[in-house]
Amino acid sequence: MEGLRKKMIGCYVTGAFPRPTELIRTTRAYERAGISKKRLEESFEKATESVINAQISAGLDYVTDGMLKWQDLLRPFTENLKGTTVGSLTRWFNNNTFYRKPIITNHIEREKDVVTNMICIEKLPKNLPWKAILPGPYTFVSLSENQYHKDKAELMFEFARVTNEEIRSLAEAGFSYIQLSEPALVCEPLAPKSRKDKLALVNDVLQIAVKGITTKTSLQTFFGDFSKILPEVLDFPVDHLGIDLYKTDFEKLKEYDFERGVALGLLDSRSSLVEKTSGLVPVAEEIIESIYPSNIDEIFICPNCDLDFLPWEKAEEKMKTLKSVTQSLKEEFS
Amino acid sequence: MNKLFPTQEVGSLAKPIWRIQSYTGKSLSRDEINEAVHWGRTLRIENLDELVKLLSERDFAGKRRALLEWSAKYAIRFFETAGLDIFFDGEQWRSEMYEHVVRKTAGFKFLGYVKSFDYRYFNKAACIDKPKYTKPFYLDEFLFTKENTKGKMKVPITGAYTLVDWTFNEYYEKRLSGEIIDFKTRKFKAKEEFLFDLIKEVIRREISKLVDAGAKWIQIDEPAATTNPTEEEMKLFVECFNETVKGFNCIFSLHNCYSNYEILAKHACELRNCSQLSLEFANRDSRQAGTGNERTGYNAIGSFEEHSFQGNYGLGVVDVHTDFVEPPELVRDRILHVARTIGDPSRICVSPDCGLRTRTWETSFRKLKNMVLGAELARKAAA
């Protein structure tokens, strides 16, 4: 029995960090034309350092640059791909935050590296592995207005090819972990009739996105119930599957055996209540034991979605909880 | 009101520059004082000299309150002069629809700024204790408005569902953390408890004060109504509305904008004592006059009708997010188009999409005046 319990436990974040207070102040001043672009840049750099340090202190297995500059998950692509323009403000799923809708007016193509240019690579620590986060093809297309392609599937395949090139450039720049964020897969209702076809399509699209990729990959879902895409999601061509535990039915989740790694969204980024380690560890244990009856596999503990729903101070506190929960679980499953 | 196509406003109006500047303790420029005089004359405000004197005075205790009353008086007169049939005071007493209530209610704590979009943020509070009513937060402005107009009033208030949706729910989530293991169930239950406590302990108490003071029509603002478009959440939203208005001898209406109307339409007929849905359409519509296929922005009306909503529409015919001033003919055609679609012109009350706080007074005035002219044209056409 002892051997069965052995798991690889790690932790990381799954989205953007909140902008620290000082950076919020600078960005607001910049908007009111009170300060120069240079001052703004300096403020971003300083804040990025804080965010990276918070991740190092929390002992994360992969470090991101915190994505402080990302105005929304899609924006780097909306602004920089050929064939897209920036559309109107639209609600970001079930949140009181907004993104700008990509309008697709032509074939989409990369003119330069999008994400690699967005990340402050020079600030990332040399001695730790790096993680980058991109919107998944399904989510990007669901949230776009298609004015060009004959259907969404065609656009999805095109975006998957762009994604593949992006991942290759990130790998070359030194990233060893790529997360594709796919909230739309679980947040929007899937009609029972078309559900299977849709998930099969997403599988095909993802095959294109990760073709020939040697980094670790994950598909992170949030804002919705992961059990809605079970069991099909278990065949998706990624190393790890991310689950928002604050939106997922535990009992349904436990009905399945996972032969893939998971990223358990155990901390609630949409609540300012800082969880107690003792309240989270037993929940994680129970889920891990039930979805992995025999296989040894990789488990990451993470916030359920972007931490930028919280003020910076709360996000910092949550990082400390992330660290202590992961340590407890490591001991438990070693 | 027996008049066909009565006109109304929806809530907020920008704070005048002379008030904003004086509030911060700065002395006003000549232009800013002229602005106050210009509008004072346009709106035929009495005793304008007193305001000019006040604006030139140094800060003193009570200066802010005096400024507030002046700006409320201006706003009331602004709507009257534009020719509206139903209005309030442009929400001049409120800093903002969320903060105004949360700051005046016990059990909340502001945690700081979180992202809204781009470089915009909002100050988000957490509920850290059971919400408790400490003092009225809409009563004073209601009494003031009542005293300063003979017109028909509609009091806009922020709905409980939106207040809860925009607030971190620490108190209830913590309370239930030992009780319910499943996170999803716990969060929903915590939201439910927060919501119904807020309605009972705070919102209904305030409504009761307003009704006792003579309020006849209360508009509940719920911009967050369809934020969580699941059946479970929409059911909660409907229960929230019904519980809020239950038993009061008063007319209620709902204002919701920039939302998913397909979802709202499904549930609109479940709202009890909701005499009017005030909705945003102009923002979705073309600017070309006409009453046929041009009116794509008003397609959602069909959904409300299909789902048997029988109340009135506060029909958004003026886009509040653009400086484009709708010509009266465009307003007229929007009204007539919907009148034909629903087959009953008496169910239409002519409105802007939402509060006008993001527009200047100049633009807002021109927009509202054209709205009133457009309603008059529609009345003639329908007669």
Residue range A251-277, pLDDT digits in tens:
999 999 888 899 999 999 999 999 999
Judged by CB atoms closer than 8 Å, whether chains meet at B115 and A245 is answered as no
The predicted-structure confidence for A42-94, as pLDDT tens digits, reads as follows 999 999 999 999 999 999 999 999 999 999 999 999 999 999 999 988 999 99
Cβ contacts (< 8 Å) between B119 and chain A: which residues? 27-28, 30-31
Distance from CA of B121 to the nearest CA of A (A): 8
Judged by CB atoms closer than 8 Å, whether chains meet at B115 and A28 is answered as no
Judged by CB atoms closer than 8 Å, whether chains meet at A21 and B122 is answered as no
**pLDDT value of position A259:** 85
- Mean pLDDT over residues A163-172, rounded? 98
In angstroms, the CA A198 to CA A182 distance is 14
Q: Residue type at A180?
A: L
B120-133 vs B105-117, strand pairing mode: antiparallel
For residue A2, pLDDT over 50 is answered with no
State phi, psi for A276 to the nearest 5 degrees.
Answer: -90, 135
Beta bridge partners of residue B127, listed in sequence order = B108
Q: Give one DSSP letter per residue of B163-182, joined into a string.
A: HHHTSB-HHHHHHHTTT--S
For residue A3, pLDDT over 70 is answered with no
The greatest distance separating any two alpha carbons of chain A, rounded to the nearest whole angstrom, comes to 64
Cβ contacts (< 8 Å) between A91 and chain B: which residues? 227, 258-259
Cβ contacts (< 8 Å) between B122 and chain A: which residues? 96
Say yes or no: B258 contacts chain A, CB-CB below 8 A: yes
Residue A14: CB atoms within 10 A of its CB come to: 25
The predicted-structure confidence for A289-321, as pLDDT tens digits, reads as follows 999 876 668 999 999 999 999 999 999 999 999
> Using CA atoms in the order B169, B175, B180, B183, what is the torsion angle rounded to 10 degrees?
30
In angstroms, the CA A132 to CA A218 distance is 10
DSSP letter assigned to residue B281: -
Judged by CB atoms closer than 8 Å, whether chains meet at A247 and B168 is answered as no
What's chain B's average pLDDT?
96
> Of the CATH numbers 3.40.50.150, 3.20.20.210, 3.40.190.10, 1.10.287.610, which one belongs to the domain with range A2-332?
3.20.20.210
**pLDDT value of position B383:** 83
Give, in degrees to the nearest 5, the angle at Cα A85 between A82 and A88. 160
Place of tokens 């009017």: B276
Q: Which of A71, A91, A251 sits opposite B118 (nearest CB)?
A: A71
Judged by CB atoms closer than 8 Å, whether chains meet at A273 and B170 is answered as yes
CB B331 within 8 A of CB B350: yes
**pLDDT value of position A1:** 39
Beta bridge partners of residue A225, listed in sequence order = none
A145-146 vs A98-109, strand pairing mode: parallel
Cβ contacts (< 8 Å) between A227 and chain B: which residues? none
Cβ contacts (< 8 Å) between B187 and chain A: which residues? 246, 268, 271
**pLDDT value of position A302:** 98
E strands, chain B, are 86-87, 105-117, 120-133, 152-153, 155-158, 217-221, 251-256, 274-279, 312-318, 348-352
Place of tokens 């909503």: B309
Domain map (residue ranges) of chain A: 2-332
Cβ contacts (< 8 Å) between B258 and chain A: which residues? 91
Judged by CB atoms closer than 8 Å, whether chains meet at A98 and B116 is answered as yes
**pLDDT value of position A174:** 97
**pLDDT value of position B1:** 54
> Using CA atoms in the order A218, A223, A228, A229, what is the torsion angle rounded to 10 degrees?
-20
Helix (H, G, I), strand (E, B) or coil at B260: coil
- C-alpha distances in Å from residue B21, one per residue of A30, A208, B122: 21, 58, 22
Instruction: Look at the pTM and tell me if it is higher than 0.90.
Output: yes
Cβ contacts (< 8 Å) between B124 and chain A: which residues? 311
The predicted-structure confidence for A208-254, as pLDDT tens digits, reads as follows 999 999 999 999 999 999 999 999 999 999 999 999 999 999 999 99
- C-alpha distances in Å from residue B221, one per residue of A325, B155, B160, B248: 41, 10, 9, 17
Residue A149: CB atoms within 10 A of its CB come to: 19
In angstroms, the CA B369 to CA B326 distance is 10
Give, in degrees to the nearest 5, the angle at Cα B13 between B368 and B132. 140
Distance from CA of A79 to the nearest CA of B (A): 13
Judged by CB atoms closer than 8 Å, whether chains meet at B119 and A273 is answered as no
- Mean pLDDT over residues B354-372, rounded? 97
In angstroms, the CA B90 to CA B71 distance is 9
CB B176 within 8 A of CB B256: no
Place of tokens 């704070």: B15
- C-alpha distances in Å from residue B378, one per residue of B331, B348, B349, B354, B381: 8, 11, 12, 21, 5
For residue B26, pLDDT over 50 is answered with yes
Judged by CB atoms closer than 8 Å, whether chains meet at A248 and B184 is answered as yes
pLDDT category at B184 given cuts 50, 70, 90 is very high
State phi, psi for B347 to the nearest 5 degrees.
Answer: -90, 10
Nearest to B286 by CA among B252, B337, B362: B337
In angstroms, the CA B208 to CA B263 distance is 30
The predicted-structure confidence for A88-144, as pLDDT tens digits, reads as follows 889 999 999 999 999 999 999 999 999 999 999 999 999 999 999 999 999 999 999
Q: Give one DSSP letter per residue of A110-126, joined into a string.
A: -SS-SHHHHS-GGGS-T
CB B223 within 8 A of CB B163: no
Say yes or no: B166 contacts chain A, CB-CB below 8 A: yes
Place of tokens 């604006």: B55
The predicted-structure confidence for B126-140, as pLDDT tens digits, reads as follows 999 999 999 999 999
**Exposure pattern of B284-316 as b/e (b: 16+ CB <10 Å)?**
bbeeebebeebbebbebbebbbeeebebbbbbb
Helix (H, G, I), strand (E, B) or coil at B306: helix
**pLDDT value of position A322:** 98
Nearest to A307 by CA among A138, A25, A33, A55: A55
